[in-house]
Copies of this chain bind each other. A is one copy, B any other.
Amino acid sequence: MTALSKHATIVDVAREAGVSKSTVSNVIRGVKGVAPETRLRVREAIEQLRYRPNLLARHLVQQRTTTLGVVIGDLGNPFYAEMAKHIERAAAGRGYRVMFCNTLGDQEAEVSGLESLMEHRAAGIVFLSHPTDLVQVRRVVEGHVPAVFLTCAADWGDVVSGDDEAGAELATEHLIDLGHKRIAYFADPIVEDAADRQREAGYRRVVQRSSLAATVFHWDRPPDELQQEARDRQLDRILRNRITAVFSSNDYGAIELLDCADRLGVRVPEDLSVVGFDDVVMAGLARINLTTVRQPQPELATLAVETIAARVEGELHGPPQRKTLGLKLIVRGSSAAPRT
């Protein structure tokens, strides 16, 4: 590997082109009022020296960066990974770069990661999955940079999310229409609280409207080696309750449930109907074939980035905004009428 050459600076370019550094700066920033011939000379010098402006210096003097911090629970969860990808693309499209912080639910990592993002003077923070430690996180971020909560919620920042309650209603109605009488709601703790409550609320409303009983289960998330066992116990509880259909708060949990059912010889959808939430790519595979509520991922991500960019660029002022996108039920093969 060759020795690392230093980067050329604006002064080097100025010298090479025989102008002052302000002129170079004007050319770089596309300020008009530079003689075409001068502009050309500067351009050539830039090319020649492979000059790339130093954003550290620019951002320092401008008192503002074009870096967005993104806090994610777990990139290993396909929904978050897919969202992360869309956020990155949307940000790049608006001239922002993205710094990810993948906290894996570790509170300490979350706070220190966030502090690091603040030290980098991130222009704004996108929370994709809710910070576990609300108080600490709020203390670090609020009042310093704008925050947007994407598919999660808080009252001190803008919120962009799907219409969780309506989505949950669609899912539950679908199961009722199929003839199910004993439908459970299955909460995956990885889903942020507010979203979870909304989805549960939608479920409860529809179930009660049809005079059915509401049953709510929670996935345990024990250490890895015990996980499979814990899951099997959960499924056992479901079946003991004579549940015939489950609406899971996310696809990830729904797919785990399918996995569990497969291992235990419980047939889906014959013995148990399963409906998820998110519509991750995986859900559409023939082998998974999961009925689910689709979240419009690219639209959500774009909206979140636009919102935070508007705050950063001073186009948006005032109290937190709340933007909600409609959700669609995608019927696939994991749901069917219960056996009679």
A contact set with B: CB distance below 8 Å: 1-5, 7, 52-57, 59-60, 65, 67, 74-76, 78, 81-82, 84-85, 88-89, 92, 97-102, 104, 109, 113, 115-121, 142-146, 156-158, 255, 258-260, 262-263, 281-282, 285-288, 311, 318-320
Closest chain-B Cβ to A74's Cβ sits at a distance in Å of: 7
Q: Which residues of B contact A146 (CB under 8 A)?
A: 1, 4
Q: Which residues of B contact A52 (CB under 8 A)?
A: 115, 118-119
CB <8 Å contact, B92 and A109 = yes
* Given A1-B158, A81-B81, A85-B102; 17 other pairs, CB 8 A cutoff: A1-B146, A1-B318, A1-B320, A2-B142, A52-B115, A52-B119, A54-B60, A54-B119, A54-B121, A55-B121, A57-B60, A78-B81, A88-B102, A99-B99, A258-B285, A259-B287, A287-B287
CB <8 Å contact, B263 and A4 = no
CB <8 Å contact, B281 and A76 = yes
A259 to B255, CA, bound (A): 16
Q: Which residues of B contact A102 (CB under 8 A)?
A: 84-85, 88-89
Closest chain-B Cβ to A12's Cβ sits at a distance in Å of: 14
Closest chain-B Cβ to A224's Cβ sits at a distance in Å of: 11
Interface residues of chain A: helix, strand, loop or mixed (majority): mixed
Q: Which residues of B contact A117 (CB under 8 A)?
A: 97
Q: Which residues of B contact A74 (CB under 8 A)?
A: 85
Q: Which residues of B contact A7 (CB under 8 A)?
A: 121, 144
- Minimum CB distance partner of A285 in chain B: B259
What are 15 contact pairs spanning A and B, CB under 8 A?
A: A1-B146, A1-B157, A1-B311, A1-B318, A1-B319, A54-B119, A56-B121, A76-B85, A81-B84, A84-B100, A89-B104, A92-B113, A92-B116, A98-B99, A255-B285
A325 to B52, CA, bound (A): 37
Q: Which residues of B contact A59 (CB under 8 A)?
A: 56
A92 to B101, CA, bound (A): 9
The 8 closest A-B pairs by CB, nearest first: A81-B81, A262-B286, A75-B85, A88-B102, A287-B287, A56-B60, A55-B119, A259-B286
CB <8 Å contact, A75 and B84 = yes
Closest chain-B Cβ to A280's Cβ sits at a distance in Å of: 9
- Minimum CB distance partner of A261 in chain B: B286
Q: Which residues of B contact A143 (CB under 8 A)?
A: 2-5
A143 to B5, CA, bound (A): 6
Closest chain-B Cβ to A77's Cβ sits at a distance in Å of: 9
A7 to B85, CA, bound (A): 30
CB <8 Å contact, B282 and A263 = no
A227 to B157, CA, bound (A): 40
A11 to B181, CA, bound (A): 67
CB <8 Å contact, B101 and A88 = yes
Which of these, B82, B120, B285, B311, contacts A75 with CB under 8 Å? B82
- Minimum CB distance partner of A63 in chain B: B6
Closest chain-B Cβ to A319's Cβ sits at a distance in Å of: 6
